[in-house]
């Protein structure tokens, strides 16, 4: 909680994160004189954000009334991936009251994709998950102008450039909405309810189909001048490496990512180096990053080597970023976080060896706690912050 924020935002956040609180405790916690607090609570009750919730346990004198967020509050949280849609409707405390996850191709364009998002949300309403939404938060897999609420030149999202995502959702659902990059919302989720809880300076590294990084500095997401900060997938790690989708050679995500690992594993499966992968290829006609993870846990040395090679590449890039930003924590998430402790051990080893000792003296490198839910969790936080800010 930043004390620079207005009182009503701090109050609503406290009720969101801690549930019902007595007026007396609210006054203590927000260091607010009683009359001003009472007036503010009344105002927020009038606006429909806050409700009475019975009497608190006695503190000796007159029993104080509990207040909580209005049980009717609802936020929609949407996480659009390269090949998936995740939608949740959550209450004021950010607890899911409806959740949908399905495969989808972001390349089918904004109209088809957002149409499906709207259908899922209307279905949630028909199922009784909400009467009306108070805000919608959306993450998309590409750079976003946070101010304008539009994707900006997103490489893997044909047809989405400058598409008015925010405007369309706001019109459809009659509430404010907010659009951000998918890695940023994962970082926001992890900071609110995951392993980075209340850590002010950390990097959230997503290793999935592509690779990206959410950056928390001084307790705020840092998005950069054009909204594309954190695009570490195209840092060159091998000048003689494979051609990347961006046209350069040896980018991190051309060398190690879900797509790169599946490609390399398929090549390996055709040789005699990995019986485990060869078996999977024969059985299903393809191998994926997940196959590599499973074969590695079964002790397949080639798969262990593939993961360690990748970890070394990621670690090399992160070592530079640690020297550059001197963060308090690194969180590894995204689909390839399933590669687990073999990957993590290799990343740690390179980061600890190659960064300035002062910067790594007390630097945890850990796996995401929220896993695949990090994105929707963060989108829900963003939506709630937007709604709270509007309660002016």
Dist CA 71 CA 246 (whole Å): 47
DSSP state of 251: B
What phi and psi values does residue 263 have, to the nearest 5 degrees?
-65, -45
For residues 100 and 222, which CB has a smaller minimum distance to a copy of itself in the complex? 222
Write phi, then psi, for 211 (nearest 5 degrees). -130, 135
CB of 335 to a copy of itself, least distance (A): 21
DSSP 8-state symbol, 372? G
DSSP code at position 270: T
Q: How far is the CB of 47 from a copy of itself (least distance, A)?
A: 26
CB-nearer residue toward a copy of itself: 155 or 371: 155
Residues in the chain: 392
Minimum gap (Å) between residue 228 Cβ and a copy of itself: 5
Nearer to a copy of itself, 47 or 246 (CB): 246
Give the strand pairing for 50-55 and 65-69: antiparallel
Nearer to a copy of itself, 269 or 314 (CB): 314
Residues 6+ apart with CB under 8 A from 170: 136, 176, 177
Residues 71, 296: Cα–Cα separation, whole Å: 47
CB 319 to a copy of itself: min, Å? 7
CB of 190 to a copy of itself, least distance (A): 17
63's enclosing H/E stretch is none
176/327 with CB nearer a copy of itself: 327
Nearest distance in Å: CB 348, a copy of itself? 16
Q: Which is nearer to a copy of itself, 92 or 310 (CB)?
A: 310
* Minimum CB–partner distance for residue 247 and a copy of itself (Å): 9
* Measured distance CA(15)–CA(28) in Å, rounded: 14
Long-range pairs, 274-282, Cβ under 8 A, ≥24: 274/300, 274/302, 274/303, 275/300, 276/300, 276/303, 277/302, 277/303
- Please identify, using beta-carbon distances, which residue of 120 and 235 lies nearer to a copy of itself: 235
Provide the strand spans (E) within the chain.
21-22, 50-55, 65-69, 74-80, 84-91, 96-103, 135-140, 144-145, 150-151, 177-181, 202-207, 211-217, 220-221, 329-333, 365-367
Between residues 41 and 365, which has the closer beta carbon with respect to a copy of itself?
365
The residue (of 234 and 280) whose beta carbon lies closer to a copy of itself is 234
Smallest distance, a copy of itself to C-beta of residue 229, A: 4
- DSSP three-state, residue 205: strand
* Contact in structure between 39 and 346 (CB atoms under 8 Å): no
Binding positions for a copy of itself, rule: CB under 8 A: 4, 143, 152-153, 201, 213, 215, 217-218, 220, 222-232, 234-236, 246, 248, 316-317, 319-321, 323-328, 353-359, 361
How far is residue 52's CA from residue 101's CA, in Å, rounded to a whole number?
A: 35
By C-beta, is 198 or 218 nearer to a copy of itself?
Answer: 218
Q: How far is the CB of 329 from a copy of itself (least distance, A)?
A: 9
- Smallest separation (angstroms) from a copy of itself to the CB of 158: 15
Give the C-alpha separation, 346 to 219, whole Å.
Answer: 28
């Amino acid at each position: 909680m930043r004390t620079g924020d207005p009182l009503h935002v701090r109050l609503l956040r406290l009720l969101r994160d801690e549930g019902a609180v007595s007026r007396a405790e609210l006054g203590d916690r927000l260091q607010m004189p009683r009359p001003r607090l009472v007036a503010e609570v009344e105002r927020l009750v009038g606006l429909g954000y806050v409700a009475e919730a019975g009497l608190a346990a006695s503190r000796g004198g007159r029993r104080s009334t509990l207040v909580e967020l209005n049980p009717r509050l609802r936020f929609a949280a949407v996480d659009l991936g390269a090949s998936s849609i995740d939608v949740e409707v959550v209450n004021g405390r950010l607890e899911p009251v409806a959740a949908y996850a399905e495969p989808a191709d972001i390349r089918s364009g904004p109209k088809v994709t957002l149409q499906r998002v709207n259908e899922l949300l209307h279905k949630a309403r028909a199922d009784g998950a909400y009467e009306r939404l108070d805000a919608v938060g959306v993450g998309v897999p590409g750079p976003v102008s946070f101010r304008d609420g539009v994707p900006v030149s997103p490489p893997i999202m044909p047809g989405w450039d400058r598409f008015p995502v925010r405007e369309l959702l706001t019109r459809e659902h009659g509430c404010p909405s907010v659009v951000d990059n998918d890695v940023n919302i994962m970082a926001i989720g992890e900071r609110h309810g995951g392993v980075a809880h209340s850590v002010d300076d950390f990097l959230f590294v997503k290793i999935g189909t592509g690779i990206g990084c959410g950056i928390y500095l001084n307790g705020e997401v840092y998005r950069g001048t054009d909204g594309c900060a954190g695009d570490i997938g195209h840092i060159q790690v091998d000048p003689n490496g494979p051609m990347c989708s961006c046209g350069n050679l040896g980018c991190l995500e051309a060398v190690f990512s879900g797509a790169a690992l599946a490609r390399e594993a398929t090549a390996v499966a055709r040789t005699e180096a990995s019986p485990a992968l060869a078996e999977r290829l024969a059985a299903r006609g393809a191998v994926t990053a997940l196959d590599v993870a499973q074969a590695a846990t079964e002790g397949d040395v080639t798969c262990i080597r593939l993961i360690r090679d990748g970890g070394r590449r990621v670690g090399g890039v992160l070592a530079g970023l640690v020297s550059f930003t001197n963060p308090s924590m690194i969180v590894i998430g995204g689909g390839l976080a399933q590669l687990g402790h073999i990957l993590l051990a290799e990343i740690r080893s390179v980061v600890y060896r190659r960064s300035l000792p002062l910067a790594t003296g007390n630097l945890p490198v850990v796996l995401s706690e929220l896993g695949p839910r990090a994105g929707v969790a963060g989108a829900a936080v963003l939506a709630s912050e937007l709604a709270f800010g509007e309660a002016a």
